[in-house]
């Protein structure tokens, strides 16, 4: 109660009313009042450093804090001309972004009054700023080193991306070469010639067109021709499974459908592609 009475007495004096009236008039004359609410300049500067994942608040120049302090909640800057000029000055002189006696804000707005510095909050003066020059210089050097390292890492990443793309193209070329070589080997394979002399009743299917049925409810996944029915035949050096035929693909309908049996060169019909030899179960062939 004693504190409350003292507070009421202080607020009801003629001197306080005169000061309040004067301050109300002065606030009405402001062109760009501060929009920080309960937050101080120092707190705002720290929040900006946290947003950018910086290691020190010193890396945030007071020019940036000044603009943030005069930006409304709807993101409208109260000094658009100043913001545009600051950007131009940053482009021509990046060092002017860092807080100092001759930074961008000083150049555009003018020198600060005695005992205060714009964008830094209370208790920060020119004298204190001068004494902190060595620390700020150290931070500036660290910032420049970080930018240099970032640029070097970006260049290395571009080179690695290019090398990765080259490796992918080389792998694709090697796979195509292996398919072509295997296709040639299958054409000249003695096993194929042997099939014409085989006594198997399935020999009547050789050369006939067929639909390849996929697993489950996939339906027709590809079309081709029966090329070999001899159980001793091989596809890409892999022996035929019981009840399987060698089929040469003429059309791939479902590229992502898995092979009836992987042969070490491909695992899906799309990877094998038309013209390739695959083995497919007789019961999963619709021979025409």
So what's the pLDDT on residue 215?
A: 85
- Strand-pairing partners, residue 239, are 234
Q: Is 80 exceeded by the pLDDT of residue 200? A: no
Name the percent of the chain lying above pLDDT 70: 83
Average of pLDDT values for 226-244? 85
So what's the pLDDT on residue 285?
A: 93
DSSP helix/strand/coil, 276: coil
Name the percent of the chain lying above pLDDT 90: 20
Phi/psi at 48 (nearest 5 deg)? -65, -40
Quick one: 235 exposed, middle or buried, by C-beta within 10 A (0-12, 13-18, 19+)? buried
Average of pLDDT values for 208-231? 90
The pLDDT-based confidence of 37 (bands split at 50, 70, 90) is confident
Say how many CA atoms lie within 13 Å of 101 toward its Cβ: 10
> ∠77-111-67 over CA atoms, to 5°?
15
Average of pLDDT values for 46-52? 88
Q: Is 70 exceeded by the pLDDT of residue 190? A: no
So what's the pLDDT on residue 223?
A: 94
Q: Is 70 exceeded by the pLDDT of residue 209? A: yes
Tens of pLDDT, residue by residue over 59-87, are 788 888 888 888 888 888 887 888 888 88
Cα separation, 185 vs 183, whole angstroms? 5
Cα separation, 40 vs 15, whole angstroms? 28
So what's the pLDDT on residue 71?
A: 84
Output the average pLDDT for the chain: 81
- Strand-pairing partners, residue 71, are 77
Cβ count within 10 A of residue 209 = 12
């Amino acid at each position: 109660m004693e504190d409350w009475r003292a507070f009421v007495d202080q607020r009801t004096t003629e001197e306080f009313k005169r000061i309040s009236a004067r301050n109300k008039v002065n606030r009405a004359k402001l062109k760009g009042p501060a929009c920080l609410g309960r937050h101080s300049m120092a707190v705002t500067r720290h929040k900006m450093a946290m947003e950018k994942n910086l290691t020190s608040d010193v890396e945030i120049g007071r020019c940036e804090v000044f603009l943030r302090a005069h930006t409304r909640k709807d993101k409208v800057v109260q000094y658009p001309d100043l913001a545009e000029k600051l950007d131009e000055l940053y482009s021509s002189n990046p060092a002017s972004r860092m807080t100092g006696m001759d930074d961008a804000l000083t150049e555009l707005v003018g020198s600060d009054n005695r005992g205060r510095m714009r964008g830094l909050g209370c208790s920060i003066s020119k004298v204190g700023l001068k004494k902190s020059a060595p620390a700020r210089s150290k931070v500036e050097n660290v910032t420049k080193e970080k930018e240099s390292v970032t640029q070097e890492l970006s260049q290395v990443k571009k080179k690695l991306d290019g090398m990765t793309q080259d490796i992918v193209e080389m792998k694709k070329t090697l796979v195509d070469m292996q398919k072509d070589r295997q296709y040639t080997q299958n054409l000249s394979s003695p096993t194929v010639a042997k099939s014409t002399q085989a006594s198997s009743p399935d020999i009547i299917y050789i050369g006939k067109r067929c639909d390849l049925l996929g697993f489950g409810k996939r339906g027709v996944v590809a079309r081709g021709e029966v090329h070999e029915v001899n159980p001793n035949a091989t596809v890409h050096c892999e022996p035929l499974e019981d009840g399987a035929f060698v089929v040469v693909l003429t059309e791939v309908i479902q590229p992502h459908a898995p092979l009836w049996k992987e042969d070490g060169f491909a695992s899906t019909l799309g990877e094998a592609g038309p013209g390739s030899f695959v083995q497919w179960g007789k019961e999963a062939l619709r021979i025409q």
